[in-house]
Structure 1
Amino acid sequence: MTWLKDVIGTEKAIIAMCHFNALPGDPNYDADKGMEDVLDWARKDLLALQEGGVDAVMFSNEFSLPYLTDVRTETVASMARIIGELMPDIRVPFGVNVLWDAKKSLDLAVATGAKFVREIFTGVYASDFGLWNTNVGDTVRHQRHIGASNVKLLFNIVPEAAQYVAHREIESIARSTVFNNRPDALCVSGLTAGAETDSAVLKRVKDTVPDTVVLANTGMRLDNVDRQLAIADGAVVGTTFKAEGKFENHVDVKRVKAFMDKVKEFRGVLVP
């Protein structure tokens, strides 16, 4: 049994993304509509995800495009306000992801009581956001310093829109990441949000580190649930829950229910 059962309540867990619209300071923030509009959108999506039966949610500033690797204070403050106001509505375990800043993600987790964070903790990358460096040793020491040792760390080892500066096989990345850092989970992604995670790559990672939780991080859909969950220990799901399967749309509760029914069937649970 993995930690997913203890923290989220089930194996083969589905962590649903609750994407925040552009926030104060972001290029696409709508100052006329203000934070109330961002909050209303987030609340609608959260309620739809929970009504649809997801196992957990992860709040992220998905529309803070283009992303920073050293996130500014106003972003974290805005996210904390939103999660704080949503707290009475949250009925499932939740995590946070401040794109793309591992320390700020941990800061937000401590402030809100999040159970897990997903981030790029290791590696040096050539990315759409420039040369992208990390410092995992400093990050995990920061985790301990702020009292976040109980927060689970989900290591994204195939960052979206980026690749290692020096070519490395995925098996080497998985093996060294686990040996050096003892991550709580490895996340394997496609190229962008909504892009299917390559099942062959997913299997190579899981075969290399069988005792570590491995999550399909992008692109799980109704038509590939069985194939992906046969390999992965769970998944992070965002775009497929949106109306028409489009990244920029609201969550569609009917799509969530249909997907989760398929997941429950896979887990051997009788769905009415």
Structure 2
Amino acid sequence: MDKFTSVFNGIKPVIGMIHLKALPGTPKNSLNSSEIIRAALDEADIYMKAGIDAIMIENMHDVPYLKGNVGHEISSLMTLVGYLIKQKTQLPVGIQILAGANMEALAAAKAAGLDFIRAEGFVFAHVADEGFIEAQAGELLRYRKNINAEEIAIFTDIKKKHSSHAITNDVTLLDTAKAAQFFLSDGIIITGSHTGVSASVEELNSLEDLETPVLIGSGITKDNVVDYWPICDGMIVGSYFKKEGYWQNELEYNRVSEFMKLVKKL
């Protein structure tokens, strides 16, 4: 059984995002650790009651992001939050630590008993707003082996949003996906150009023969989910579940609940 099937028990999952409040030491931080944890657990409760399939936490409020590594004040608190959400919900739970702090995310997932991480900079290189992001597949999978964390799935962005891909413009999305598959990605994430922007249906259709599961990582809404549902293996939804569909706003139960009711029909 592949890791994707094992993590999600064979279903096509909708993964709801929890964007943690700005963490200690970051420019926008204004809450103490207890308040950050409470806010995250409240959102996990909303997701669970609304019927979400899985949850992922991310430090999206920690702008501007560090490139490739974060301090222990970030990874340790995210580990604790992840552990508490996993214990509370018993759902599949994942973590992404921005920007490109993939080893820190894997360590946090191992310590917290989480199920998957989202990794950027897995194959090829790109220029992000944090700077030049190099490929990490070799180091990351060896680290997973070394810390005995092979049960944790690694889902990998390709041609990632908020980035320039001019240096790999001669490499198609399909070829990039095949490279990620060859380098043992457990699932490939496709996004639009920015947070909340939909992925290209045409490009997704080009991946139909790929053996590795494909997740859509941005831009899914109640209005377009019917178009994307047949051409993916899972969805990561953040912005749409927030008030007015904007990622920085508060999570709304009704938006999640109505979306999940529609998905169950699909």
Normalising by the smaller structure, the TM-score range is over 0.9
Question: Conserved in 1, the CA contact under 8 Å of 2:114 and 2:152?
Answer: yes
RMSD of aligned residue pairs (Cα, Å): 1.6
- 1:252 CA drift (Å): 0.5
For 1:78, give the aligned amino acid. Answer: L
Residues 223, 10 of structure 1: alpha-carbon distance in 2 compared, 3 angstrom cutoff: farther
Q: Which ranges in structure 1 are unaligned for 5 or more consecutive residues?
A: 267-272
Q: What is the CA-CA distance between 1:4 and the residue it aligns to? A: 4.3
Query: Hey, what's the Cα distance between the residues in 2 that align with 1:226 and 1:2?
Result: 26
Aligned partner of 2:150: which letter? Answer: S
Q: Which residue of 2 aligns with 1:140?
A: 141
Change (3 A) 1:169 1:78: same
Q: Distance in 1 between matches of 2:27 and 2:175?
A: 38
In 1: Cα distance, 2:244 partner to 2:51 partner: 19
CA contact (8 A) 1:102 1:119 kept: yes
1:221-270 Cα shifts (integer Å, max 9, x gaps): 0011111111011101111111221111121110001000111000xxxx
Which deviations, in whole Å up to 9, do the C-alpha atoms of 1:144-180 show, x marking residues without a partner?
A: 111111111101112121133231211111112212x
CA distance in 2 between counterparts of 1:63 and 1:249 reads 11
- 1:158 corresponds to 2:159: yes
Q: Does structure 2 retain, via aligned residues, the 8 Å contact 1:4–1:13? A: no
List aligned pairs for 1:2-81, cutoff 5 A.
3-30=3-30, 33-68=31-66, 69-81=68-80
Alignment partner of 2:199 out of 174, 197, 203: 197
Instruction: Name the CA distance, whole Å, in 1 between partners of 2:175 and 2:4.
Output: 25
Q: What's the CA shift for 1:131?
A: 1.2
Q: Post-superposition shift, 1:11? A: 2.4
Instruction: Note the 1:71-220 alignment, pairs <5 A.
Output: 71-99=70-98, 100-120=100-120, 121-164=122-165, 165-167=167-169, 168-179=171-182, 181-207=183-209, 209=210, 211-220=211-220
Contact 1:177/1:183 (<8 A) preserved: yes
- Check conservation: 2:123, 2:137, Cα contact below 8 A: yes
The 3-state SS of whatever aligns with 2:37 is: helix
Partner in structure 2 of residue 226 of structure 1:
226
* TM-score, with structure 1 as normaliser: 0.91
Kindly indicate whether the alpha-carbon contact (under 8 Å) linking 1:155 and 1:185 is maintained by their aligned counterparts in 2: yes
Corresponding letter in the other structure for 1:149: E
1:246 aligns with 2:246: yes
Contact 1:4 1:11 in 2 (8 A): no
Aligned partner of residue 263 in structure 1, secondary structure: helix
Q: Distance in 2 between matches of 1:106 and 1:240?
A: 27
Q: Distance in 1 between matches of 2:127 and 2:35?
A: 35
SS at match of 2:15: strand
Instruction: State how far apart, in whole Å, the 2-side matches of 1:116 and 1:49 are.
Output: 18
State, as a whole percentage, how many aligned pairs show the same letter.
Answer: 27
Secondary structure at the counterpart of residue 154 of structure 1:
strand
How many Å apart are 1:10 and its aligned residue?
4.2
Superposition deviation, residue 191 in structure 1: 1.6
Q: Is the contact made by 1:50 and 1:91 (CA closer than 8 Å) also made in structure 2? A: no
Task: Tell me how far apart the structure 1 counterparts of residues 2 and 51 of structure 2 sit (CA, whole Å).
Answer: 21
* In 2: Cα distance, 1:253 partner to 1:73 partner: 32
The 3 A distance-change label for structure 1 pair 72 and 142 is same
User: Would the alpha carbon gap of residues 10 and 263 (structure 1) be closer, same or farther in structure 2, given more than 3 Å must change?
Assistant: farther
- Greater shift, 166-175 or 14-23, is seen at 166-175
Q: Look up the SS of the partner of 1:240 in the other structure.
A: helix
Which is further off, 45-54 or 190-199?
A: 190-199
Contact 2:188 2:212 in 1 (8 A): yes
